[in-house]
Amino acid sequence: MTCWPFNARELTITPWRATTTFSTGLLSSSRSRERLARWCDVKPRKIYWRVTSTEEETRRVPKQPGLGKVLLPAALLIALLQSGCGGPYVFQQGLGQLDISVNRVPLDDESLQASLDEAQRGRMSWIPRVIEFARDELGLEPGDSYTSYFDTGGGPVSYTVVASHPLALIPYQWCFPLIGCVPYKGYFDPEDARAEALALRKAGWDAEVFPVEAYSTLGWFSDPLLSGMLSLSMPELVELLLHELTHRTLYIPSQSQLNEGFATHMGREGAHLFFQRYPEAASRDELDEYHRAIERDSQYSELISRLKNDLDSLYRRPAPRERKLARKKELFSTATSAARELFSVDTITLSSNARVVASETYKAQLVQLARLQKKMGGHPRKLLEALREARDRGHGELEKLLEAGSI
């Protein structure tokens, strides 16, 4: 990469054997410019991104500190850009991921350990045990994820845009190479996420932006522990780690409800088994509050399910658009009051179909997956193995397996 001044007309990426040029309009947001500036300030002015990996070419590529884990993602990024699929978006996201890959540090880094308080160091000390449990007991594939740490600066690591038809619970879908179509679009920069949501609203969609505390790169990257994750309780941290490792282990393109539902299921089931084996990893108060939080979440899911049914019924009825919109507003107002009472807070506001479809993405198949696991002997590892085998046999087999959990 050539790090031009920001008033330059072009930013040039020079991969081995290929050249792609982008307008600096891709760096329209301040966060993107800051990332590039920080990266360019500490790295040599010219970087060659290796696309091929023969031993001879590896010797010819200038070695750069901290870039050992970035070479494969760089090649992937270049391939996506050259495919013509969302070049500006992919470039900006690649820049954000590069920032994480370059600026993370090992978990045992002395300066990192010195910056943490005792509770944070205590939670971090359990992470190798969680990774071992995920691999040996649950059959997950951690790779070398969560062996490093990245400071997000006190905010979310990224932001997700979710959109839905205003008078139907039909999510807006974004489609990408490798991962298929998904009902959400992630951004590292909140300005970009808000701009996307605004554009969707102007086009007539319900759209919302949600903060993200963690995400999985599906094995393309070594995912680091994020600073915000250490603010979670120990049970919440274990569930989140197992959730993201599930994505790394099993991902089925264009099957978002199954992917997110199974990761949610695996995170909770795995956390339950982990604390059965290591009860000393969390205090009794932490575990009690965690179980209460799961119960509240279950009640919230039921609330959203009732709202979904009411909205479905409304949207299917023949009625003028204005009347439907007025009734929709009433239904969301009632649901907002119920949610605020459930969580004892006044900051929750339910106002759009985007919130409903976002919840459904994660929760719609939880009951089905729990039934399926019970039929397989009650252990989540058996469910993982069955889903993987069905996926490998073909899409029809996966549908048959899931139908067995509906009975």
Confidence of residue 211 (pLDDT cuts 50, 70, 90): very high
Q: Are 25 and 35 in contact (CB under 8 A)?
A: no
**pLDDT at position 208, please?**
97
**pLDDT at position 219, please?**
87
**pLDDT at position 95, please?**
85
Q: Computed over its alpha carbons, how large is the radius of gyration of the chain?
A: 23
Rounded Cα gap, residues 239 and 40, in angstroms? 36
**pLDDT at position 62, please?**
34
**Which residue(s) pair with 154 in the sheet?**
none
7 has a pLDDT exceeding 60: no
- For 342-353, how does the pLDDT look when each residue is reduced to its tens digit (9 = 90+)? 999 988 999 999
Confidence of residue 270 (pLDDT cuts 50, 70, 90): very high
This model's pTM is above 0.75: yes
What Å distances lie between residue 171 and 147, 182, 199, CA to CA?
A: 36, 9, 16
Q: CB-based burial of residue 152 (10 Å sphere; 0-12 exposed, 13-18 middle, 19+ buried)? A: middle
Q: What is the mean pLDDT of the chain?
A: 82
**pLDDT at position 16, please?**
30
Percent of the chain with pLDDT over 70: 78
Helix, strand or coil, per DSSP, at residue 116: coil
Confidence of residue 34 (pLDDT cuts 50, 70, 90): low
**pLDDT at position 29, please?**
56
Rounded Cα gap, residues 202 and 185, in angstroms? 17
Q: What is the mean pLDDT of residues 258-274?
A: 97
DSSP type of residue 393: H
- For 66-124, how does the pLDDT look when each residue is reduced to its tens digit (9 = 90+)? 333 333 444 444 444 444 455 678 778 888 888 898 999 999 999 999 999 999 999 99
- For 280-328, how does the pLDDT look when each residue is reduced to its tens digit (9 = 90+)? 999 999 999 999 999 999 999 999 999 999 999 999 999 999 999 999 9
**pLDDT at position 182, please?**
93
Q: Are 166 and 200 in contact (CB under 8 A)?
A: no
Domain ranges of the chain: 10-103, 124-404
Q: What is the mean pLDDT of residues 347-370?
A: 94
